[in-house]
Structures are given as C-alpha cells and as structure tokens.
Amino acid sequence: MLEVTGLELALPDLSAKRGFARAPLVSILRNLSFCVNQGESVGVVGQSGSGKTSLGRTLMRLNEPTSGRIVFDGVDISHLQEAELRPLRRRFQMIFQDPQSSLNPRRRIGQSIIQPLMAYGMLTNPQQGWQRSEELLERVGLEPMLSRRYPHELSGGQRQRVGIARAISLEPEFVVADEIVSGLDVSSQAQILRLLRRLQSELGLTLVFISHDLSVVRAVCDRVIVMSHGEIVESGSCAEVFSHANHWYTRELISAIPLPDVDEKWLNDIDAQDNKVG
Ligand SMILES: Nc1ncnc2c1ncn2[C@@H]1O[C@H](COP(=O)(O)OP(=O)(O)O)[C@@H](O)[C@H]1O
Ligand SMILES: [Mg+2]
C-alpha cells in the first residue's frame, strides 16, 4: 500500500537568525525506507523531536520530500502538485493529536464532521448532512445528538472520537494517527485504542500509528518503527522488538514505560473488551 525509499526532509530552520537572508535548511528526516502493507498497522515511536510528526505530514504530502520516494498504491506521490494530489487525498487521511485545534469552535460538531464530505462534493443537501454526521458519530461510539453541540461542550475523549469520525467520513484506505491518545486519561486512552482497532478491522484500514508511548503502540500495532533524530534506528514486529530490542535507544524507551505490570493488565483489559464486542 505504501512504499517509502530513501526519504529525506529538510526545512528552513526558523530558529536561526537570518536578517534578510534565507533561513538555512535543517535536516529533519534522513534516509527513511520502509513499507506498510495493506490492512497492516505500523507504529512509529520515538522521543519528542525525533521526527514522527514530520514523517506523518510528509507521508500525507503536507510536506514535500527533499529527496527519496513515497509510492502510495502504485503511484509516486513524492512531487505531485496539489491538483494532482487532490483525487488521492480522499484516500489518505491524518488524525491529529489535538482535535481541539482542528475543530472550528464556532461550528457545530455535525458541521465539522461533514465538512470534508462537502469539500469533495459527496454531500449536496444539508438535511442529508445532519443524518450522515449522526451516522458517523454512532460509528465512533458517540450519541448522534452530539452533532448539534459545539466542541467546547465535549470532553477530550469525545473530541478525539469526532476527529476519528471526520477522518473516516471519506472512507479512506490509509490513515496516519498522530499521538491521538496523548493527554487523555488512561481509561479514555483504552477506549479510543479499542475503537481504532475495531474500525481498522471493520473498514480494512491501513494504519500508521504515531506515539511517543511504546505501551500504546504495542496495544494497536503489528509492527513498529523506532525513530531517533530523524532516522530509523530499529524496526520489526512488535513481539520481536519488545522481547529483544537491539538498539540501546529502543531499550531505553522500553524501560521508560511506567509500571509495566499495570500496563500488562491494561492491555489484557483491552483484549477482553475486544472479545466481548467482537
Ligand atoms: N516547520 C518546521 N520547520 C523547522 N523545523 C521543524 C519544523 N517542524 C518540525 N521541526 C523540527 O523537526 C524536528 C522533529 O519534529 P517533529 O516531527 O515534530 O518530532 P516529533 O513529532 O517526533 O516530536 C524537531 O527538531 C523540530 O524542531
Ligand atoms: Mg509529534
């Protein structure tokens, strides 16, 4: 589904003093190569500043790679212009860390949910819009009547579900989720992860799941890519990487998981719930 080869990204260094000169470029992603197979879920982990969000944005072509290739379902999207990308954009979607910032505070939830559908001309009459947004809210486990509410009336977990509803409204095949449970309490985290796993299997989604938290990645992903300073330092199946990490950096991330015994129980709870629901 996705094939990344020798991906590099350099951006202007906004922190550099530059007077009238152009800002110097700073290297953000270096020589990244990996594949994501259809229906698979691949985790991207690494400390803050390791380049995870930049990678997600580049895969979505919100950034243009400086060199290397990104092939999405057989199409090289590395340097496509916006007009050429447009028909593809419906097929890949990103869910951001902070849905608060992507939801317009002055719009009702339902209006925000159907905004992508309107933009793609997939909805024409507004009455149909309310109905569609209510269906999508139900799909992500929320009360349909929330479609008439405003973002500030929802909890963080509810807003994150709205972000997910918006992302799946266009029926994408490929989704990048960037730190979508950071900042939520543990039980909301578990609920969102459970929802994501359910949607992934129901919709056959291919998922890149970004998190600084290895325990979260482990709950959702088949494979994991470990990033440090813009490079991939390790990758493999979750089972492999968690049982014998090769790189000291990965071992350090693993040892930073708080209270591993509690985490184990938490994961089992998620599994138990999945079995009940599924
Ligand atoms: N638009 C930008 N311009 C310049 N540097 C950036 C830009 N965005 C991110 N960076 C830098 O790139 C590095 C990686 O950032 P980011 O991708 O946000 O990492 P992560 O998501 O892993 O925390 C950081 O050092 C950050 O300061
Ligand atoms: Mg980030």
Would 15 be classed as within a structural domain?
A: no
CB atoms within 10 A of CB 255: 10
Domain-embedded: residue 230: no
CA distances (Å), 271 to each of 43, 158, 200, 243, in order?
18, 22, 15, 20
Band of pLDDT at residue 269, cut at 50, 70 and 90:
low
Asked if residue 118 is part of any domain, the answer here is: yes
- For a mutational test of ligand 1's pocket, the pick from 15, 45, 54, i.e. the residue with the most ligand atoms closer than 8 A to its C-beta, is 54
Confirm whether 236 is domain-assigned.
no
Count of domains forming the chain: 1
Q: Whose CA is nearest to atom 7 of ligand 1?
A: 11
- Please give the residue range of the domain that contains residue 124: 100-171
Angle between helices 260-277 and 186-203 (to 10 degrees): 40
Residue 191 has pLDDT above 80, yes or no: yes
pLDDT tens digit sequence for 107-132: 999 999 998 898 888 887 778 899 99
Q: What is the pLDDT of residues 128-177, one digit of tens each?
A: 899 999 999 999 999 999 999 999 999 999 999 999 999 999 999 999 99
Give tens-digit pLDDT for 61-101.
999 999 999 999 999 999 999 999 999 999 999 998 776 67
Would you say residue 258 lies in a domain?
A: no
Say if ligand 1 is within 6 A of residue 125 CB.
Answer: no
- Residue 91, exposed/middle/buried by CB under 10 A (0-12, 13-18, 19+)? middle
Task: Note whether 163 and 103 are within 8 A (CB).
Answer: yes
Q: Does some domain include residue 123?
A: yes
In a domain, 128, yes or no: yes
User: Domain for residue 87, yes or no?
Assistant: no
